[in-house]
């Protein structure tokens, strides 16, 4: 994937995808009828990290200068 495409995809993921992911995570937690606070913390912590692992190839090197320029 080219540098420009990765920059565009990363912006789309952060502006649209991440808020949608947050809404889905909160909705799922609300369906569980308020588990104990430590379980809720662990689930939110896991979900907070889990979104980044499948998408790390998109974000890798985006903050650097264009290597093709």
Mutual orientation of helices 37-50 and 18-31 as an angle, nearest 10°? 150
13 vs 18: CA distance, rounded Å: 6
How much is the pLDDT for 69? Answer: 66
How much is the pLDDT for 50? Answer: 87
Q: Hey, is 55 helix, strand or coil? A: coil
Q: Hey, is 66 helix, strand or coil? A: coil
61 vs 23: CA distance, rounded Å: 28
Q: Hey, is 22 helix, strand or coil? A: helix
Q: pLDDT for 5-50, tens place per residue?
A: 888 888 998 899 999 999 988 888 888 888 889 988 998 888 888 8
50 vs 37: CA distance, rounded Å: 20
């Amino acid at each position: 994937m080219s540098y420009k495409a990765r920059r565009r995809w990363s912006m789309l993921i952060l502006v649209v995808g991440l808020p949608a992911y947050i809404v889905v995570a909160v909705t799922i937690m609300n369906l569980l009828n308020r588990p104990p606070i430590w379980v809720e913390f662990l689930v939110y912590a896991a979900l907070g990290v889990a979104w980044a692992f499948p998408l790390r190839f998109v974000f890798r090197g985006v903050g650097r200068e264009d290597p093709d320029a």
